[in-house]
Amino acid sequence: MRLFSSAEQFLSLTEPGTRGCLILDMRLPGISGLELQQRLAEQNWKLPVIFISAHEDAEARAAALRRGAIDYLPKPFSCDQLLASVRRAMDDGAAEIRP
């Protein structure tokens, strides 16, 4: 597991070919989670995304899922819920970063 303090840090430090999934908060400093998801899609990255948020926003949730997010978990969520989402992301077959 790698942690990043911002979307910008993720973009600058992530190597192509890295396997995994991205767990994103909707509200990040700088680039928002939705903006990062959009940038990744524009660059044709095939990285599964799971969103988490303490601020329920039906429109943001719908946009994230419409753009291909694996899940959107409102806080608080259980470890079991998060693990189930990560398993789905890793089983998806698209769990590889490809810019």
Q: 20-44 pLDDT, tens per residue?
A: 899 999 998 899 999 999 988 888 8
Strand order of the β-sheet with 49-53 is 22-25, 49-53, 71-74
Q: 46-60 pLDDT, tens per residue?
A: 889 999 999 888 999
Sign of the Cα pseudo-torsion (86, 89, 92, 93, in order): negative
**CB 36 within 8 Å of CB 86:** no
Query: Domains of the chain by range and CATH?
Result: 17-91 (3.40.50.2300)
3-class DSSP assignment, residue 42 = helix
- Looking at the predicted structure, is the pLDDT value of residue 95 above 70? no
- Looking at the predicted structure, is the pLDDT value of residue 99 above 50? no
